[in-house]
Amino acid sequence: VQLQASGGGLVQAGGSLTLSCAASGLTLNRPAIGWFRQAPGKEREGVSCISSLNEIVHYADSVKGRFTISIDKAKNTVYLQMNDLRPEDTAVYYCATDLGHSSSYYLCHGSPANWGQGTQVTVSS
């Protein structure tokens, strides 16, 4: 399983970014897949996850109403549209999945087995 994340960058507060995660070595028709982030000195947070089985989504309270996760099964790719970005969203964002979990909630609150490389998101005030 390989996960290739991209789309991070530097943006001003209130701006938008879209992260992409291209998956290979698996088919997104059952496992949950999602985005996690970690800022310096802070614990890792499950930001948003989606089940590729039933497309049920889960969001952390901190991003509800601002971030949208989506999946393109034809491209085996997951996206995270991030709007109204805030300085506290600054972190390294990681894409992760686990072939043993189809639940978006449990993936976001667990320890996924497969991780991509991180992509830095920096929001300036």
pLDDT for 68 equals: 98
Interacting residues of 89 by C-beta distance below 8 A, sequence separation 6+: 37, 63, 82, 121, 123
- Helices H / strands E in the chain, number of each: 1, 11
The pLDDT confidence band at residue 50, using thresholds 50, 70 and 90, is very high
Digit-coded pLDDT (tens) for 65-89: 999 999 999 999 999 999 999 999 9
The pLDDT confidence band at residue 44, using thresholds 50, 70 and 90, is very high
pLDDT for 69 equals: 98
Strands (DSSP E) found in 1-125: 2-6, 9-12, 17-24, 32-38, 45-51, 57-59, 67-72, 77-82, 91-98, 114-115, 119-124
Interacting residues of 44 by C-beta distance below 8 A, sequence separation 6+: 36, 37, 38
pLDDT for 26 equals: 94
Strand 77-82 versus strand 91-98 pairing type: unpaired
Q: What is the mean pLDDT of the chain?
A: 97
